[in-house]
């Protein structure tokens, strides 16, 4: 629709004690915040991580905090997600970004 601005992703209660992520118009989000509703705006993107010590897990990362914009632009998949292998050298963890195709070969 014309004039509604952009969509933002928020977390809302799922009715079972958890939350789900949905996209709403930014104007609607701003209105709900002005009304005092507690709504969490989702920032960042999903990082899939494979760590030989911690196993496979996911985290929400933000550009400029856990990853540079350049690395994000170079390694993100079509959904804007990143894939990371943690490799230990001398007992210290080092992160290595991999393309989704490489990640999929790991399984």
What would the pLDDT profile of 66-104 be if each residue is shown by its tens digit? 899 899 999 999 888 999 999 999 999 999 999 999 999
Higher pLDDT, 2 or 102: 102
pLDDT tens-digit series, residues 14-63:
788 777 778 888 888 888 888 888 777 777 888 999 999 999 998 888 88
CB neighbours (10 Å) of residue 31?
12
pLDDT (0 to 100) of residue 1: 44
Is 8 in contact with 30 (CB distance < 8 Å)? no
Distances in whole angstroms, Cα of residue 71 to Cα of each of 3, 63, 80, 81: 33, 9, 12, 12
């Amino acid at each position: 629709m014309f004039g509604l601005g952009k969509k933002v992703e928020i977390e809302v209660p799922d009715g079972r004690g958890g939350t789900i992520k949905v996209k709403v118009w930014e104007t609607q989000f701003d209105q709900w915040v002005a009304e005092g509703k507690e709504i969490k705006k989702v920032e960042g993107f999903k990082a899939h991580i494979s760590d030989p010590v911690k196993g496979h897990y996911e985290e929400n990362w933000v550009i400029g905090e856990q990853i540079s914009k350049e690395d994000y632009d170079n390694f993100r998949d079509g959904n804007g997600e990143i894939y990371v292998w943690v490799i230990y050298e001398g007992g210290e963890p080092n992160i290595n970004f991999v393309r989704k195709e490489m990640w999929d070969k790991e399984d």
